[in-house]
Amino acid sequence: MKHGLLGWVFLVLFIGACGGESTVRNDTNPGADESATTDESATADDKTTVDEDGTVSDETSDIDQFVQPDSGDQTGLPDGEASDEMLSDEDTEVYFPDEDSSDPDCQPGAYINTCGVWAQKMIFTATAKVAGFDAATAEIRTLFRLTHRQQGGHIWADSKICHIVIENKTPLNPINILMPQSFADALIMLHKEADIDLQGNYYQPPYWELRSVDQSSIGPDPSQYVLPTDPNDPRVEDWDHDNEPGLRVNVNAGLASGVTHIVEKSSSELWGTVSGTGEQMVIGGTVYWTDEQKVLKTDNMLFKGGAQNVIDQTRTNAWRQVRIPDGWTCAEVIANADALFPDF
């Protein structure tokens, strides 16, 4: 029974930290490409840019000097001149397209050019509690493939989750969560938006993802969405096509091993900086995330209960992205992950 409870606790750790974001209600760019492997996306509406690119300062930001959130400050920038510049009249002026540009989806103007295809890695750390007691810690590593489009300092990032790995960090805890590749494959394209200032500070506001539920049922505020608990709820969808409600997750915990099918609600908020130039450019920083999930069905009732899953802010919660060839798909991102992120 002890192993069963630990199995459930570790199970819930993997979910929101898996990198979640797919709620269509966050997508203010409905023309974006829904394909996980297509680089071309719809042109951003109602955005214009300067006649020709400005010059960006040669000074680059250290990727390890991440911009930290400030209580009450949603810009993700430190108080003072940098924050004021993000909101200055100069930065919010109207941009007019360059008539000579061959790519209307890439008009960075005076801002750092982040257009193109990227591989991204996120690392989350979570702890769980059952009946008020700390029970387990897990590190969740998620790979993404992104395509950036840009108008001035505003970025549209079409993001596809490629792969999820969960590592148990609790000593002497035998529980292992086995994420089938079908889980990541089933997740839909995420249409995020972010902003970059002239100094290369990057901020993505909270983005909500609702997994394996009917996206048309979410409503205007995904943060207030109440997850279904009944497998027969009409909002529940079978995204991984295993003829079961929700998404399948395997748990290996000895006598308590089993299979669960879940729905999930999560959010992520990113702060970061740009370093390097051209093909050597790197963007990265810190991430704050939340998670909630419900088990719809399981073959082991020990996994049917709930647990509290929270971010462990004393450990790693970070992200990094690097440029990759335009033709790469999730398969290439997964195969080259160690080379793309050798020290992360």
In sequence order, the 6+-apart residues with CB closer than 8 A to the CB of 250 are 177, 178, 179, 180, 257, 258, 259
Q: Is the pLDDT of residue 73 over 60?
A: no
Sorting pLDDT into bands at 50, 70 and 90, what band is 83?
very low
Q: How confident is the model at residue 96 (pLDDT cuts 50, 70, 90)?
A: very low
Identify whether the C-beta of residue 161 lies closer than 8 Å to the C-beta of residue 144: yes
Which helix (H) or strand (E) segment holds residue 339: the answer is helix 337-340
Judge contact between 233 and 47, C-beta under 8 A. no
Phi-psi region of 13 (alpha: psi -120 to 50; beta: other; left: phi over 0): alpha
Contact by Cβ (8 Å): 62, 275 = yes
Q: Give the pTM.
A: 0.71
- Is residue 214 pLDDT above 50, yes or no? yes
> In this predicted structure, what is the pLDDT of residue 152?
97
The predicted pLDDT at position 137 comes to 81
User: What is the rounded distance in angstroms from the CA atom of residue 196 to the CA atom of residue 81?
Assistant: 15
pLDDT-derived band at 314, boundaries 50, 70, 90: confident
Coil, strand or helix: which one is 5? helix
Q: How far apart are CA 310 and CA 207, in angstroms?
A: 17
Q: Measured between alpha carbons, how far is residue 248 from residues 150, 241, 259, 296, 300 in Å?
A: 36, 10, 7, 10, 13
pLDDT, tens digit, 9 for 90 and up, residues 145-189:
999 999 999 999 999 999 999 887 777 666 677 889 999 999 999
Summarize the confidence of residues 113-127 as an average pLDDT: 94
